[in-house]
Amino acid sequence: MREIKNHLYEQVARIGKAVASPKRLELIELLCQGEKTVEMLAAQSEISVKLASAHLKELRLARLVDTRKEGKYVLYRLASTSVADLWVNLRTEAEERLVELQVALASIVEHGDELQGVDRAAILQKAAAGEVVVLDVRPEDEFSVAHLPHARSLPVDDLRKRLSELPKDVPVVAYCRGPFCLMAKDAVELLRKKGYQAFHLSDGVAEWRARGLPVEV
């Protein structure tokens, strides 16, 4: 009986071992945004293709990541949305318990999640009524996979030259990949310098879905 119990715990520990790497967690967060090639993942996580492949192999062995071929490319994706939920729950638990993480987040995002405690459903209602603009500042390919309802795609790299597309008399709520992503922070800083009333929403698609809120796909 002890051997059976040991085996059971060992199997669960495979998941723990797979996510016990900062870079693998980053790759999971990137895959929360949609399918990507190893080259894309390597570039976005700022590591070599060889190292990205090694990390992805470990995630595949733990059944957290799947692949499919499209022409000459191999596309990686999360095995299911429950893997995204695992990442959100793990990160949320770390934020609640680790002072070091709280301090680190506060140091890189000046205003933090300024919509903390604001009813997310109310944001949807205001967006539907045209009372706020919800801005998705991720790359367009990630927006096309899934995004918040009523969101408008405007990648942060294009924001400066496309500011005229945004009304100045309506508040702007910007979001990107989640609390560790700084694209929304950069967008809010630029918008405020240009006279817009802008706010940073730390939720990404994975966080939104984990809250049980609708996502457009």
Q: Which residues are catalytic?
A: 176
Name every residue whose Cβ is closer than 8 Å to that of residue 58 and which is 6 or more positions away in sequence: 17, 18, 21, 24
Q: What angle do CA 176, 179, 182 make, to 5 degrees?
A: 55
Contact present, 77 and 67 (Cβ < 8 Å): yes
The residue assigned the tokens 């994975």 is 206
Q: Tell me the torsion sign for CA atoms 178, 183, 189, 191.
A: negative
Write out the H or E segment, with its range, that includes residue 186. Answer: helix 183-193
Tokens, residue 71? 């022409």
Give dist(CA 38, CA 77) in Å, integer.
11
Cβ pair 91, 202 in contact under 8 A: no
β partners of residue 76: 36, 67
DSSP state of 216: B
